[in-house]
Structure 1
Amino acid sequence: MNDQNLDNAVPPASTDSLLSSADIEFLLYDWLRVEKLCERERFADVGLLSATMDEEIGGIQLPQTVATACFTWFQSANIATSSYPMLTMANASLLLEYGTDEQIETFVRPETEGRFFGTMCLSEPEIGSSLGDVTTRAVPDPGGDEGTYRVHGTKMWISGGDHELSENIVHLVLARAEGDVPGTKGLSLFIVPKHLVNNDGSLGERNDVVLSGLNHKMGWRGTTNTLLNFGEGTHTPHGSGGAIGYLVGERGKGLSYMFHMMNSARIGVGAGAVALGYHGYLDALRYARERRQGRSDDGRGKDSPQVPIIEHADVRRMLLSSKSYVEGGLGLILYAATLLDESETADTEADRARAALLLDVLTPIVKTWPSVWGLKANDHAIQVLGGAGYTRDHAVEQLYRDNRLNPIHEGTHGIQAKDLLGRKVIMAGGEGLKILVEEMRSTLAEAAAGASWNAESGALAEAIDRVETVTAAVWKSAEPVHALENAWTYLEAVGHTVIAWLWLQQGMAAEAAVRSRGDSALRRGKIAAARYFFVHELPQTGPWFDLVESGPSTFTNLDDTCL
């Protein structure tokens, strides 16, 4: 399925007996829409929408680790199409945690059945990540039940905000209830469905939620991205102005509730970045094995046959680095999913709390590191294909365009970096960072039992030491403005350290498997990628840590007239 066809399709404009180009485009759009509806039904019928949920809601209680691994296949096949179920699953998960029994029955159950899709509505046209400045307001509905409000405002950058792929769309809207305090502490969360739902579960009248515009994007074109108006008076449900919304949980706790969905979405973004990077890497690998160009550097004459480009060192460099990024990133995503499982199912409360705290610390890295380095793998894929990669004859250019969104949405690279250095590594007295360091040093102790990874272990030990010392140095005397000035470099350095740790685990596991079960291309590939990461990638953390520790004020003291 080509997402660009959906992006360009328009309704028919001709009444001639012969089909015009506009008619054909509309028919193509309609066919693609029907195909997506069938995909939605198949996805829901096999239980994937509710896979990780409890049996009482129709789920199969699949571990998050397994579900995450399975879902990356869908993200790799078509990231735009997979966004609809990803958002819906995160939406349903939030409501299962904080919604009432009635809200779960009315909205979550149809979501798990694939009949309703979900969104998250945070940003506004002039308010992106600065959510404390949200202007959307909610007024208690005088004619409604307790907890029913009338919502007025505008939301921007809403993925899946309007479409015809589902019977209904369940918007989770961040708004300020009338009379509540300014800032984030005054924000509440409301369910604002596209269509109201009757007591018997059937669809009622149209709610006052209006599509005001579509954002035409560089990539990810199969997911509509919208500007939505709430309560502008286009529709007047129950004979009154304002979109009807239902309060979720308590007033003033909307942002904390929304983070339940946002953190889930951030793991999903990291997984999507890995999937797109992996897809591009595999396309480039296949092309490099088939494409013949140039001759070997071994001194053979010009009359020797051309060789597959995979025999050229620079192509191998790009492929091996890409492999280290995407498979290292996949290890990170699955480790995060494992922590999510442990935070809910570990035997003791202490173990559950430990896993949750470690996941909190890692979440900015889980979202951002694959978004940056998975995109680099897509960049390499275009380069391996050369001029062909820059054309639409191959998928790698679209994969790059799609992946370019991931460093932006669900919190930009810079926002995640400030979250990591400014909040996560110092929260709870630095306990989360302490747990991460303990886990990494535990792997070093395991590696010490053998000799084959001594060099890598030594390099990792130095990087782990720098994580501790640099974090302490940054916060010893620095004001937040100066401490956070180089947060993005800090995230890169800590992220690379974490990935090196995971590669050491994978390398040792692959080596042990060779000893016990024999050699294989898979195991050799893991070992090669692990050693590449330690030789070519981890050394970059030294200068990065040096820069953060020295605390240059390049940007704080910059006169913006110089730019």
Structure 2
Amino acid sequence: MAHLLSRRDLDFLLYEWLDVTALTARERFSAHSRETFDGVLDLSADLAEKLFAPHNKAGDQQQPRMGDDGRVVMIPEVKTAVDAYAAADLIAAPFPEEYGGLALPSTISRASMAWFQAANPGTSSYGLLTTANANLLLAHGSAEQIDTWVRPMLRGDYSGTMCLSEPQAGSSLADITTRATPADDGTYRITGTKMWISGGDHELTDNIVHLVLAKAPGGGSGVKGISLFIVPRFLPDGTRNDVALVGLNHKMGNRGTVNTLLNFGDGTFPVGDGSGAVGYLVGEEHRGLSYMFHMMNEARIGVGFLATAIGYAGYLASVDYARVRTQGRGLAAADPAPVPIIDHADVKRMLLAQKSYVEGALALGLYCSRLVDIEATSTGDERDQTHLLLEVLTPIAKAWPSQWCTEANNLAIQVHGGYGYTSEFDVEQCYRDNRLNPIHEGTNGIQGLDLLGRKVVMNGGAGLALLAQTITATTEKAPADGEAAEFAAALRAAVDELVATTAALWADADPTVALTNSSVYLQAAGHIVIAWMWLEQLLAVGDSTGDFYDGKRAAARYFFRFELPGTGPQLALLRSLDQTTAQTDPAWFTA
């Protein structure tokens, strides 16, 4: 790819807007400075461009396969890149120094990872999953588990996964059937099947640390009976655990990440009495889902970043193409020579739309990452409020980029015309890679249910109130007149309408009515949040001059005039309590 991300945009968001160097005043990050942050970003861009981007197409065209010996085979460039990423200490970087990390703020670590996600979504996912796995075990694992499993993951010797879904259950975790039976030695024997496991089997690392949800005796039915277990590919003494690769899932996009169907305890690699795979309980029995949400929430923000990075790469590719592709004439031009298509108004529209989506999404992801850093280094009310705001924003930070940055990739193909629909150009793969993300880590429909059914109403509606208060505080910083004032007024009105709509939806406390159109609610709330991100950026631009800042103004103008007004009809539909979808009889879907 010619370009991956805009370093100028990252610098603006990190330093001119979010002022991430202020985090160094907090003890955890006190060893850092603008220089160390820039060093990490420079290193990340260099590695991404030299070792990740060059095999992006090859990884897509030669996706992982099962060899004759039952092992996963992938192109050798993947291991070279994964090893280099670990050798650069980028897996360990955001972890405390006592575990071999650099105590790097999450904001910088996420910006670093975005380079790799833009360069090669498939290969970048191995590091992302390992980091999330290690974070969960640091939060909920024992000291022995941290020494045994986390430290090798941070060195890059081991990699990590999470194993939730099952063929018959999908996202309905209450219906999982994987079982955990206590053994006499304090471990458990795990039996069951897990589906859609990214990074579930490969030869990239010496071991794979699976975090597996299973039901232990005495937990009751539903999600309350779920516990969490470490089930490694190899046991600490080197014995092969009874974790068997059954097959690979062949995907439309994001093909470079091996995706597996795994059997636990089916006797392929019997251990001891052969009664199942050996698992080690994390934390307490029957609290597994709450522990796994630690990893899932981190992964959801990571998916938002992945969607953003792919969208950004496609956007930059379409800008490059539009500058050099000549076709058509200017409407008022006397010169009969073809003009670059970037001169055409409709192409500018498509580029502005992409710019508003990907730069707005990147701002949201970095904003959420900064909340993670503040929460991790705060106490009392500041910590509680930061946590609450992050809880409300997480489903939006996952779902909005995965929908609208995929739309950015769709527009990037359109800018390329017929060429965009061919594999010779990058944007075709960008779209296929990104199309997974509205499904990944909880479908966007699930995110809508989470936002409207839990996040905005929890604690008596405190989450929504805090979000509205925080957005309103931004609007109050806008000048009294001019474009920023116009946009601030529009945003205030949209926030007020969102709050009123939420109250109307829950007026009768009937979830069957309130949640019918939760996906529409998610889309409207997401657009309002991204409009907030654009007003924040516009205020950070201030009176600065130059093409970069003028581009920011144009993208903000586009979003407020072309995108935000669409939330009005959406919120009106929600307030009407329309039940068209809920009342549709399945029998009506006939051939």
Give the TM-score range, shorter chain: over 0.9
Matched, 1:369 2:400: yes
- Tell me if the contact between 2:66 and 2:248 (Cα under 8 Å) persists in the aligned partners: no
Residue number in structure 2 paired with 1:217: 251
Counterpart secondary structure, 1:97? helix
- Tell me if the contact between 1:171 and 1:193 (Cα under 8 Å) persists in the aligned partners: yes
39-48 or 102-111, which moves further after superposition?
39-48
Counterpart secondary structure, 1:447? coil
Matched, 1:554 2:549: no
Letter in 2 for 1:548: L
Deviation at 1:300, TM superposition (A): 2.5
Which residue among 304, 327, 333 is the counterpart of 1:270?
A: 304
Deviation at 1:180, TM superposition (A): 2.4
Matched, 1:324 2:356: yes
Letter in 2 for 1:218: M
Which residue among 482, 502, 508 is the counterpart of 2:533?
A: 502
Counterpart secondary structure, 1:485? coil
Residue number in structure 2 paired with 1:22: none
- CA deviation digits over 1:519-554, x for unaligned, max 9? 222111111101110010000000010001111100
Matched, 1:140 2:182: yes
Residue number in structure 2 paired with 1:183: 222
Structure 2 gaps, min length 5: 1-54
Residue number in structure 2 paired with 1:340: 372
- CA deviation digits over 1:205-228, x for unaligned, max 9? 110000001111001111111110
Counterpart secondary structure, 1:7? coil
Matched, 1:3 2:59: yes
Residue number in structure 1 paired with 2:380: 349
Deviation at 1:50, TM superposition (A): 1.2
441-450 or 377-386, which moves further after superposition?
441-450
Equivalent-residue separation in structure 2 for 1:492 and 1:36 (angstroms): 36
For residues 94-133 of structure 1, the aligned pairs below 5 Å read 94-133=136-175
Larger of the two Rg values belongs to structure = 1
- CA deviation digits over 1:192-242, x for unaligned, max 9? 0001112xxxxx111000000111100111111111000001111234331
118-127 or 40-49, which moves further after superposition?
40-49
Higher relative contact order (CA 8 A, sep 6+): 2
Which residue among 568, 571, 575 is the counterpart of 1:545?
A: 571
Which residue among 559, 562, 566 is the counterpart of 1:533?
A: 559
- Tell me if the contact between 1:122 and 1:173 (Cα under 8 Å) persists in the aligned partners: yes
Equivalent-residue separation in structure 1 for 2:284 and 2:570 (angstroms): 43
Residue number in structure 2 paired with 1:467: 498
Which residue among 188, 193, 199 is the counterpart of 1:154?
A: 193
Counterpart secondary structure, 2:239? strand
Equivalent-residue separation in structure 2 for 1:511 and 1:297 (angstroms): 34
RMSD of the alignment, in Å? 1.6
Letter in 1 for 2:459: A
Counterpart secondary structure, 1:440? helix
Identity %: 54
Equivalent-residue separation in structure 1 for 2:108 and 2:577 (angstroms): 42
Residue number in structure 2 paired with 1:455: 486
Equivalent-residue separation in structure 2 for 1:403 and 1:306 (angstroms): 33
- Tell me if the contact between 1:511 and 1:527 (Cα under 8 Å) persists in the aligned partners: no
Equivalent-residue separation in structure 1 for 2:178 and 2:432 (angstroms): 32
Which residue among 517, 521, 538 is the counterpart of 1:486?
A: 517
Equivalent-residue separation in structure 2 for 1:234 and 1:9 (angstroms): 20
Residue number in structure 1 paired with 2:321: 287
Deviation at 1:450, TM superposition (A): 5.2
Structure 1: 4+ residue segments shifted above 3 A: 8-13, 448-452
Deviation at 1:458, TM superposition (A): 1.3
Residue number in structure 2 paired with 1:36: 78
Equivalent-residue separation in structure 2 for 1:233 and 1:241 (angstroms): 8
Counterpart secondary structure, 2:133? helix
- CA deviation digits over 1:227-276, x for unaligned, max 9? 10000011112343310000000001000000000000000000000000
Residue number in structure 2 paired with 1:70: 112
Equivalent-residue separation in structure 1 for 2:248 and 2:521 (angstroms): 36
- CA deviation digits over 1:445-500, x for unaligned, max 9? 10045544121111111101011100001001151011000111111111101110
Deviation at 1:560, TM superposition (A): 1.3
Letter in 1 for 2:570: W
- Tell me if the contact between 2:153 and 2:159 (Cα under 8 Å) persists in the aligned partners: yes
Matched, 1:360 2:397: no
- Tell me if the contact between 1:267 and 1:333 (Cα under 8 Å) persists in the aligned partners: yes
Residue number in structure 1 paired with 2:550: 524
- CA deviation digits over 1:103-141, x for unaligned, max 9? 001100000000100000000001011101110001111
- CA deviation digits over 1:144-170, x for unaligned, max 9? 2x2x00000000011111011111000
Deviation at 1:8, TM superposition (A): 6.7
Matched, 1:253 2:253: no
Equivalent-residue separation in structure 1 for 2:585 and 2:88 (angstroms): 58
Letter in 2 for 1:535: R
Which residue among 396, 405, 408 is the counterpart of 2:427?
A: 396
Counterpart secondary structure, 2:423? coil
Q: TM-score, normalised by structure 1?
A: 0.92
Equivalent-residue separation in structure 2 for 1:112 and 1:256 (angstroms): 23
Residue number in structure 2 paired with 1:414: 445
Counterpart secondary structure, 1:414? helix
Counterpart secondary structure, 2:503? helix
Deviation at 1:394, TM superposition (A): 0.5
Count the aligned residue pairs. 532
Letter in 2 for 1:286: D
464-473 or 37-46, which moves further after superposition?
37-46
Letter in 1 for 2:240: R
Q: TM-score, normalised by structure 2?
A: 0.88
Deviation at 1:5, TM superposition (A): 3.9
- Tell me if the contact between 2:65 and 2:248 (Cα under 8 Å) persists in the aligned partners: no
Letter in 1 for 2:456: V
Equivalent-residue separation in structure 2 for 1:160 and 1:56 (angstroms): 27
Equivalent-residue separation in structure 2 for 1:8 and 1:215 (angstroms): 10
Structure 1 gaps, min length 5: 14-25, 199-203
